[in-house]
């Protein structure tokens, strides 16, 4: 049940900001959490990004901080009163921007600090004084050690995306940060799942928390149609073409388990006539921006990405998600398919399962508590096994030669040196290790909701004539590098 913000008696500056955002009613997490946070109680909330949880904690928190508003320019009058911790710079940036919007008509100051950026501008902001500090744990500790951030007047701490913070190994950092805070404070913990580790964290740092769950932990959105198709590795691309075509899907995310697999698959799909971009942890900020921009503009049909690159990627309501590889970690399955079917929109999640994936599928079944049926894909009679695409067929019909050699090379390379899978070091072992992985670069596009392209052009797989001329890859795809060079880069 949703209800109106007007029932909350929010202070005028906050109510005005909310009205300006165009929110008509509260989301379920807001309806449940805001009244509780307004009373100052600790909260343990099960909610994912995209549910409106940022407003759920920041609006009541800002309301309670209004008593500290000050127009003084003295930094001493603007100590940190609320600390919001997030696992990645994209999420931190995204949440900080939202908080700045909600606080825009108040005198409360907010800022964000995260790694991978120069400390100096962040230090200047901190030295001026801020009431609300959004941070990733590692960079916050750097600022604490440099005496740029003093946390002894913190009244509220929010541990957002707590499950991911633990996954990444931030527990020791969190413990250190929490040790700097006054014991008398309100602690809000949000997590997509309530794993035993999260419960342990909550029992150590929360006092009589009110538990709020808007969806059962690990529940996948009911608006997502989940299909599991059996496909061996050589048939997976053909399966993607088939699903796109039969379901009339124009844009999709395709998840893979490794960085090299990501680039390789993107190149192959591009060769097969689909406009494709790859997004993985080795991509520069500029490349990532370009890929996302192209996807948003509808210039790219498929975004092939790894879990690490997709973290914090707040593009919503993508029509379909493909799991080209079954994720190694069942929780990633829930995160991946959460990209589609958001906010009531229906979505399709297709997982391609090969013979060796049985254990991984069983893990997903266990997590989402649903018996999964693995179906066979029906292909048209006239498309023999291994002939995967319209694009390539059109290309061949256009008189191009030599594709069988290309395909054989592609297959040989796909059996090439095994690369370390991306994100592996973030999860294995699951014990808390305390190291900090290199976070992906800052990426403002991660905050933008997905909007279908305005141009209602036919999808690429419908337009056989769109097959690229051999050797001319789109601007989104880098020309293939030698496998040896890739392997070297991956291990460097």
Residues found near ligand AMP in the complex (CB under 6 A): 23, 26-27, 30, 49-55
Between 159 and 256, name the residue whose CB sits nearer to ligand AMP.
Answer: 159
Between 26 and 113, name the residue whose CB sits nearer to ligand AMP.
Answer: 26
Between 30 and 218, name the residue whose CB sits nearer to ligand AMP.
Answer: 30
Between 235 and 317, name the residue whose CB sits nearer to ligand AMP.
Answer: 317
Between 54 and 218, name the residue whose CB sits nearer to ligand AMP.
Answer: 54
What is the nearest approach in angstroms of ligand AMP to the Cβ of residue 59? Answer: 9
3-state secondary structure of 135: strand
Between 45 and 129, name the residue whose CB sits nearer to ligand AMP.
Answer: 45
What is the nearest approach in angstroms of ligand AMP to the Cβ of residue 365? Answer: 27
Give which of 157, 152, 151, 132 is closest to 42, Cα–Cα.
157
Cα separation of 395 and 393, whole Å? 5
What is the nearest approach in angstroms of ligand AMP to the Cβ of residue 471? Answer: 41
Alpha helices, H only, 39-114:
53-65, 89-102
Between 23 and 432, name the residue whose CB sits nearer to ligand AMP.
Answer: 23
What is the nearest approach in angstroms of ligand AMP to the Cβ of residue 256? Answer: 25
Cα separation of 43 and 207, whole Å? 9
Between 5 and 205, name the residue whose CB sits nearer to ligand AMP.
Answer: 5
Between 224 and 360, name the residue whose CB sits nearer to ligand AMP.
Answer: 224
State how beta strands 252-256 and 302-306 pair: parallel
What is the nearest approach in angstroms of ligand AMP to the Cβ of residue 373? Answer: 31
Cα separation of 296 and 289, whole Å? 10
Tokens found for residue 103: 């606080």
What is the nearest approach in angstroms of ligand AMP to the Cβ of residue 26? Answer: 5
DSSP label of 465: G
Between 158 and 388, name the residue whose CB sits nearer to ligand AMP.
Answer: 158
Residues 6+ apart with CB under 8 A from 155: 64, 65, 81, 82, 182, 185, 186
Tokens found for residue 54: 């940022």
What is the nearest approach in angstroms of ligand AMP to the Cβ of residue 317? Answer: 11
Cα separation of 279 and 479, whole Å? 15
What is the nearest approach in angstroms of ligand AMP to the Cβ of residue 384? Answer: 46
Between 21 and 358, name the residue whose CB sits nearer to ligand AMP.
Answer: 21
Computed from CA positions of residues 175, 178, 179, 180, in that sequence, does the dihedral angle turn out positive or negative? positive
Residues 6+ apart with CB under 8 A from 72: 78
| Cβ contact 295:285 at 8 Å | no
Between 84 and 303, name the residue whose CB sits nearer to ligand AMP.
Answer: 84
What is the nearest approach in angstroms of ligand AMP to the Cβ of residue 52? Answer: 3
Q: Where are the beta strands (DSSP E) in 298-456?
A: 302-306, 320-323, 347-353, 374-376
3-state secondary structure of 194: coil
Cα separation of 9 and 16, whole Å? 12
Between 214 and 460, name the residue whose CB sits nearer to ligand AMP.
Answer: 214
Residues 6+ apart with CB under 8 A from 311: 87, 88, 90, 91, 164, 335, 440
What is the nearest approach in angstroms of ligand AMP to the Cβ of residue 85? Answer: 15
Question: Left (φ > 0), alpha (ψ -120 to 50) or beta: where does 409 sit?
Answer: alpha
Tokens found for residue 386: 């291994």
DSSP label of 116: T
What is the nearest approach in angstroms of ligand AMP to the Cβ of residue 42? Answer: 20
What is the nearest approach in angstroms of ligand AMP to the Cβ of residue 55? Answer: 4
Tokens found for residue 12: 């005028």
Q: In Å, what is the CA distance from 245 to each residue of 45, 193, 305, 347, 416?
A: 40, 35, 21, 16, 30
To which residue do tokens 């291990």 refer? 491
In a 10 Å sphere around its CB, with 0-12 CB exposed, 13-18 middle and 19+ buried, how is residue 4 labelled?
Answer: exposed
What is the nearest approach in angstroms of ligand AMP to the Cβ of residue 269? Answer: 30
């Amino acid at each position: 049940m949703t209800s109106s913000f007007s029932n909350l008696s929010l202070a005028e500056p906050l109510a005005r900001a909310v009205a300006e955002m165009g929110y008509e009613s509260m989301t379920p997490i807001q309806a449940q959490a805001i009244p509780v946070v307004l009373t100052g109680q600790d909260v343990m909330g099960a909610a994912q990004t995209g549910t409106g949880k940022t407003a759920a904690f920041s609006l009541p928190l800002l309301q309670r901080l209004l008593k500290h508003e000050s127009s003084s320019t003295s930094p001493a009058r603007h100590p940190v009163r609320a600390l919001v911790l997030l696992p990645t710079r994209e999420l931190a940036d995204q949440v900080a921007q939202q908080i700045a919007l909600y606080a825009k008509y108040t005198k409360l100051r907010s800022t964000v600090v995260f790694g991978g950026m120069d400390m100096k501008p962040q230090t200047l902001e901190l030295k001026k004084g801020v009431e609300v500090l959004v941070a990733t744990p590692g960079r916050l500790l750097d600022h604490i050690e440099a005496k740029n951030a003093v946390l002894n007047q913190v009244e509220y701490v929010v541990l957002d995306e707590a499950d991911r913070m633990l996954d990444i190994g931030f527990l020791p950092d969190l413990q250190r940060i929490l040790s700097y805070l006054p014991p008398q404070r309100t602690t809000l913990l949000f997590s997509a799942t309530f794993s035993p580790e999260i419960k342990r964290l909550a029992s150590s740092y929360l006092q009589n928390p009110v538990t709020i769950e808007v969806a059962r932990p690990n529940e996948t959105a009911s608006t997502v149609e989940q299909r599991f198709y059996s496909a061996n590795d050589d048939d997976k691309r053909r399966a993607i073409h088939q699903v796109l075509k039969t379901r009339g899907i124009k844009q999709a995310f395709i998840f893979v388990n490794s960085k090299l697999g990501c680039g390789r698959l993107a190149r192959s799909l591009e060769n097969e006539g689909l406009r494709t971009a790859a997004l993985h942890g080795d991509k520069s900020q500029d490349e990532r921006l370009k890929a996302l921009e192209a996807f948003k503009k509808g210039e790219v049909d498929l975004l092939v990405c790894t879990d690490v690159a997709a973290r914090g990627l707040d593009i919503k309501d993508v029509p379909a998600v493909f799991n080209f590889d079954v994720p190694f970690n069942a929780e990633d399955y829930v995160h991946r398919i959460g990209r589609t079917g958001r906010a009531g929109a229906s979505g399709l999640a297709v997982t391609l399962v090969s013979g060796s994936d049985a254990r991984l599928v069983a893990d997903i079944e266990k997590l989402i508590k649903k018996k999964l049926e693995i179906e066979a894909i029906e292909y048209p009679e006239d498309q023999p096994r291994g002939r995967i695409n319209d694009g390539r067929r059109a290309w061949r019909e256009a008189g191009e030669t030599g594709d069988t050699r290309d395909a054989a090379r592609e297959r040989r390379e796909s059996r090439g040196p095994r690369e370390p899978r991306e994100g592996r070091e973030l999860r294995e072992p699951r014990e808390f290790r305390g190291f900090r992985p290199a976070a992906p670069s800052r990426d403002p596009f991660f905050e933008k909701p997905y909007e279908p392209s305005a141009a209602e052009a036919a999808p690429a797989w419908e337009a056989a004539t769109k097959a690229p001329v051999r050797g001319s890859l789109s601007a989104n795809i880098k020309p293939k590098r030698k496998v040896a060079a890739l392997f070297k880069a991956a291990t460097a």
